[in-house]
Structure 1
Amino acid sequence: MTGSEASPSFRLAYVPGVTPTKWVRIWNERLPDVPLTLLQVSAAEAFGVLRDGGADAGFVRLPVDRTDLSAIPLYTETTVVVVPKDHVVAAVDEVTTEDLADEVVLHPLDDTLDWERPPGEPAFERPATTADAVELVAAGIGLLVVPQSLARLHHRKDLTYRPVTDAPESRVALSWPQDATTDLVEDFIGIVRGRTVNSSRGRTKAPEEKQPPKAKRPDAGGTRRQPAAGRSGGRNPRSGSGGARNAKSGGKAGKPRRRS
């Protein structure tokens, strides 16, 4: 047995905005002997980490190159615009890209939205990261359109956000190398898909609890059923309570004879 087989482990990459806490907790409950290591990576480098073997699986943002990677889409995020709290956009419930046409909209280099053309007026230069762009929004330089999870991740008390109804949406998926679909990867797929520990497709099944043997019925196996308490086996059911009255009168029944 090799060292890797003797001491298995699982490495899980995830991009900013994804919170893997729930799935990690379930993993630790089901496979307590297999440590899970978390690795946060940028959206741009996530696929390289998977291809190079730096992680066994990862939460990424679509699209995924299916040539050598497998992927299971999980959910789609709402797209929002991040604005200062005193901005006019903060006074409405939602906006469209057309509403942002006259605004400077920052487009960071790590942007995860698949724009044909970003909305608004472009800034003089693109911020390096989403975190940098948030700082510029707080400074009043422009606005920022991102998936809602990133707006929450970079939350500031002086900023807020509103949904952009017609903006591209970001989809999160679980991905892993096609040629490295190990048993542990299958286990994690089952957890993410919500399979129970006793699922027929799950690999880590809980032992079945043995049921106690059923007690035999009293009349099983041809045993004659005993009459209920207080009843006589040969008693005429139509006699009712008349038998008791006859017993009181000495056993005589019928009409008395006429004297001659």
Structure 2
Amino acid sequence: MTGSEAPLSFRLAFVPGATPGKWVRTWEERLPDVPLALVPVTAEEAPGALRAGEADAGIVRLPVDRTVFSAIPLYTEATVVVVPKDHLLTAADEVSVDDLADDVVFHPLDDVLGWERLPGRPAVERPATTADAVELVAAGVGVLVVPQSLARLHHRKDLTYRTVTDAPRSSVALSWPEDAHTDLVEDFIGIVRGRTVNSTRGRQRPEEGGQQKQGTQTPARRKPAPAKNPRARTGGQNAGGKGGAKASGRSGARGKPRRRS
């Protein structure tokens, strides 16, 4: 790890649709003295923000340049089509790309699905953003295919969505520059991967260094055998001799006292 001194805070970039809240809460519990600052970025801005040091790590959309960034895949999203609530496609729970053939399908400039071949009929113009495309869907001009998290992010009461079973999918990952793998980045990796506080993986906590691991015991030393009493041994060996007679005489029961005349 390259970082020798921890920064005053940890900066986490995140793209639209990503929800880092549960990891942030765990961070605040484990590292209350290191504030975590969230840095919202678009999917297109994320690599530049990490490369420029504007964030220490980021929740980004794959792919990333693996010659520059390390990445841990987190999950792959379902792809959905956003439509008005009275659209014909709402009659089914799931649809296919072929079911979109008669619809105008918007392809915003910030699209994250990476289509090889766009479905449906092309729009006259490409909307600048996903938010703009959602507004056009609400106006009844066409439909929009996006990752499910973006459909939820731009939810409207007059719109709904259905899963598109054979559309490309978008994967989300934790990413950071390879040459900036600091101790705090490793701490966040541990949180994302579900490591416990006492996990032996990752960097060692200061309070753990040089101490005995919990649950182990130092073997107890054997107590020295008590010294043998030489007198007792001698008495035992001469139990049938003179010494034994004296011992038995002292410790034996006394007879009846003699009558005085």
Q: TM over 0.5, yes or no? A: yes
Instruction: Give the equivalent residue in structure 2 for 1:36.
Output: 36
User: Over residues 28-72 of structure 1, what are the superposed CA-to-partner deviations in whole Å (9 max), with x where a residue is unaligned?
Assistant: 111111111000100001000000100000000001110111101
Q: Kindly provide the amino acid, as one letter, of the partner of residue 118 in structure 1.
A: L
Q: Kindly provide the amino acid, as one letter, of the partner of residue 58 in structure 1.
A: G
Higher alpha-carbon deviation: 96-105 or 5-14: 5-14
* Contact 1:196–1:202, Cα closer than 8 Å, also in 2: no
Instruction: Give the equivalent residue in structure 2 for 1:125.
Output: 125
1:134 aligned to 2:108?
A: no
Q: Kindly provide the amino acid, as one letter, of the partner of residue 131 in structure 2.
A: A
Q: Report SS of the residue matched to 1:44.
A: coil
Instruction: Give the equivalent residue in structure 2 for 1:201.
Output: 201
**Matches for 1:14-33 after TM superposition, within 5 Å:** 14-33=14-33
Q: Kindly provide the amino acid, as one letter, of the partner of residue 24 in structure 2.
A: V
Q: How far is the alpha carbon of 1:6 from its aligned partner?
A: 7.2
**Structure 1's 100 and 177: CA in aligned 2 closer, same or farther, altered over 3 A?**
same
Q: What is the CA–CA distance in structure 2 between the aligned matches of 1:146 and 1:34, rounded to whole Å?
A: 35
**Matches for 1:1-260 after TM superposition, within 5 Å:** 5=5, 8-203=8-203, 205=205
Which consecutive residues of structure 2, in runs of 5 or more, have no partner in the other structure?
Answer: 218-222, 226-261
Q: How far is the alpha carbon of 1:202 from its aligned partner?
A: 3.2
Instruction: Give the equivalent residue in structure 1 for 2:243.
Output: none
Q: What is the CA–CA distance in structure 1 between the aligned matches of 2:5 and 2:66, rounded to whole Å?
A: 29
Q: Kindly provide the amino acid, as one letter, of the partner of residue 23 in structure 1.
A: W
Aligned residues between the structures: 216
Which consecutive residues of structure 1, in runs of 5 or more, have no partner in the other structure?
Answer: 214-219, 223-260
* TM-score normalised over the length of structure 2: 0.77
| Residue identity (%) | 75
Q: Kindly provide the amino acid, as one letter, of the partner of residue 132 in structure 2.
A: D
Higher alpha-carbon deviation: 201-210 or 180-189: 201-210
Q: What is the CA–CA distance in structure 2 between the aligned matches of 1:167 and 1:5, rounded to whole Å?
A: 45
Q: Could you list the structure 1 runs, at least 4 aligned residues long, displaced by more than 3 angstroms after superposition.
A: 4-7, 204-211
Q: Kindly provide the amino acid, as one letter, of the partner of residue 129 in structure 1.
A: T
Q: How far is the alpha carbon of 1:5 from its aligned partner?
A: 3.9
* TM-score normalised over the length of structure 1: 0.78
Q: What is the CA–CA distance in structure 1 between the aligned matches of 2:224 and 2:105, rounded to whole Å?
A: 84
Q: What is the CA–CA distance in structure 1 between the aligned matches of 2:118 and 2:25, rounded to whole Å?
A: 38
Q: How far is the alpha carbon of 1:9 from its aligned partner?
A: 1.2
**Structure 1's 146 and 157: CA in aligned 2 closer, same or farther, altered over 3 A?**
same
Q: What is the CA–CA distance in structure 2 between the aligned matches of 1:26 and 1:203, rounded to whole Å?
A: 17
Q: How far is the alpha carbon of 1:7 from its aligned partner?
A: 5.5
Q: Report SS of the residue matched to 1:24.
A: helix
Q: Report SS of the residue matched to 1:23.
A: helix
Q: How far is the alpha carbon of 1:118 from its aligned partner?
A: 1.3
**Structure 1's 6 and 39: CA in aligned 2 closer, same or farther, altered over 3 A?**
closer
Q: What is the CA–CA distance in structure 2 between the aligned matches of 1:71 and 1:6, rounded to whole Å?
A: 21
